[in-house]
Amino acid sequence: MTWWRTAWLIARRDLLVEWRSRVALNQVFPFAGIVMVMFGFAIDDTRLMESIAPGLVMVATMFSLLVLVQRSFALESEDGALDALRTAGVSSSALFWGKSIALAAQLAALQALLIVLAVVLYGSSVRPAGAPLLVATWLSGSWGLATVGTLYGGLAAGARGRETLLPLLLLPVVAPVLIGATRAVEAALGARGTVVDGWPWMGLVAVFAVVFCVGGTLAFGPLIEE
Amino acid sequence: MADMATGRTTATTATAATRTLGIVTLVGVAWLIVSGLLVSPADVNQGESVRILYLHAPSAWVAYLAFVVTAGASALYLFTKKHSLGWDRLAGASAEIGVLFMAVTLVVGMLWGRLTWGVFWRWDARLTTTAFLFVTYIGYLAVRRLGGTPEQRARRSGVLALLAVLEIPLVHFSVKLWRGLHQDATVLRPNGDVKLDGFMLFTLIFGVAVFTLMYVWLVLHRQRTLTAEDLLDDVGLEIAIAERRGESRPPDLAADVPRSDRPRPDITVGF
């Protein structure tokens, strides 16, 4: 089986498990929604909310990322799925790519939902000129978060106390995405600056995605081999 | 070495070299305290608060040195053929001491900032990256405690230490870009520059030297206790296996099997 086909099979398997169990849809997405409502309660100022909406969207994304990564690797720890994959001789880089693709798809759907919620709850609006920037940030942000999430999720997989360890490891690492994506989305939504100002920030997110995609492809094998 | 009073045999992590190093370090620290608090003059702009620098700058230096050593030792563990656990224990010992000195740097730096700038914290790239570095290495130490064999620990934490080398420049760069957007925080006296006269500069350099010695001293001891911990785990495992074997035999044959009440190596930390 070719490397690509293996990665694709693993991505399809993860998405199929999600489609049949609907854990992300029925639990993680509503969680992200309630986080957005909680921000509304805490801030309680419609003008302020509109201007900080992009940051809130990204923070809600980060929290949901933690939950999605836990879920993604809970599947691997149950019934020794990860051991079985290794015994079957699945290449660890293909496993990394497969799980990243599945996670990126879920994150992309989640972020789309959060942007819609920001429009509905916080009064944000997408300006047509900002749409390409928004889409580019959305895609590179999803991929960057998915790769880094898979990498650190694999590190904590199967270890005792992983639920508490993962946030500690992951949140400092995703800070560049939080900063870059927030600024880019601000520009795209017109919360701050012009659309042109946002593109370098999108670039930062894209650089992050490339760095952790390469780093993860190389480092995932040694991390999950026991 | 044998304890004369009790006749018990104890292992210690000290050698003649580390003892000498320890004594030199303590004398140096004592002199640094006298020099920093009493002998050196107050600063023209900052007054007495400049004395904080004699603790702050050497701590920051040691913390960064420790993290560089951790990354280097991790790379040596991962990329040398022998995969010697000694490198892994050096990485772990260095990271622990780095986190300790990073904490000192941050706390003392905030106190200095309050006195000089009027605020505890400024969101500039250097401070923010330092805080991220601190949290990252706390995570690193947590990963070292995940359990498993020493080889698993070494590989996991080694990879993580190298990922931190990837992460920190990215964080620093993005925070720097992010700060470019904002004006600096309003502060009482924005100019925190120090004009160091000869003796102040000497005290500062002396402090860096003493703290470096202290770092080497602490790392040597900590690395030795980590080696002893790994050894103790091995011994404990052997005893447990022997006990399980003993349980499966008839009682009269099990008499000569080592039990857990057999004397274990008694390890103390001396300087």
Give residue limits of the domains in chain B: 15-41+48-243+262-268
Looking at the 3D structure of chain A, how many domains does it have? 1
Q: Does domain B15-41+48-243+262-268 have CATH number 2.30.30?
A: no
| Residue that has been written with the tokens 């900052």 in this structure | B46
Q: Which residues of B touch A201 (CB under 8 A)?
A: 177
What is the arithmetic mean of pLDDT over B146-156?
A: 86
A219 touches chain B (CB under 8 A): yes
Structure tokens at B4: 């004369």
Which amino acid, residue B56? H
Q: What is the pLDDT of residues B5-41, one digit of tens each?
A: 555 556 678 888 889 999 999 999 999 999 888 888 8
Structure tokens at B189: 């006296």
CB contact under 8 A, B143 and A176: no
Q: Which residues of A touch B155 (CB under 8 A)?
A: 222-223, 225
Which residues have CB under 8 Å from B253's CB, separation 6+? none
Q: What is the pLDDT of residues A91-107, one digit of tens each?
A: 999 999 999 999 999 99
**Whole-structure pTM value:** 0.84
A200 touches chain B (CB under 8 A): yes
- H helix and E strand count, chain B: 6, 2
> In sequence order, what E strands does chain B have?
11-12, 267-268
Q: What is the pLDDT of residue B189?
A: 44
Contact B73, B90 (CB under 8 A): yes
**Whether ipTM exceeds 0.85:** yes
CB contact under 8 A, A172 and B139: yes
Q: What is the pLDDT of residue B220?
A: 94
CB contact under 8 A, A175 and B132: yes
Q: Which of A92, A80, A97 is nearest to A225 (CA)?
A: A92
Q: Which residues of A touch B132 (CB under 8 A)?
A: 172, 175
Which amino acid, residue B53? L
CB contact under 8 A, B146 and A159: yes
How many Cβ atoms from other residues are within 10 Å of residue B240's Cβ? 11
Contact B111, B52 (CB under 8 A): yes
Q: What is the pLDDT of residues B184-237, one digit of tens each?
A: 444 444 455 556 677 888 888 999 999 999 999 999 999 999 999 888 888 888
- What domain range includes position A11? 3-224
The Cα A107–Cα A132 span in angstroms is: 18
Among A165, A179, A223, the residue with its CB nearest the CB of B142 is A165
Question: Between the CA of residue B243 and those of B231, B235, B240, B266, what are the distances in Å?
Answer: 18, 12, 5, 21
C-alpha dihedral sign at B141, B77, B234, B237:
positive
Q: What is the pLDDT of residues A53-74, one digit of tens each?
A: 999 999 999 999 999 999 999 8
Which amino acid, residue B48? E
B182 touches chain A (CB under 8 A): no
DSSP β-ladder status, B267-268 and B11-12: parallel
CB contact under 8 A, A155 and B143: yes
C-alpha dihedral sign at B168, B171, B177, B178:
negative
Give residue B1's pLDDT band: very low, low, confident or very high (50, 70, 90).
very low
Average pLDDT of every residue of chain A: 91
B182: distance to nearest CA of chain A, Å? 12
pLDDT at A212 over 50: yes
Contact A224, A93 (CB under 8 A): no
Which residues have CB under 8 Å from B25's CB, separation 6+? B210, B213, B214, B217
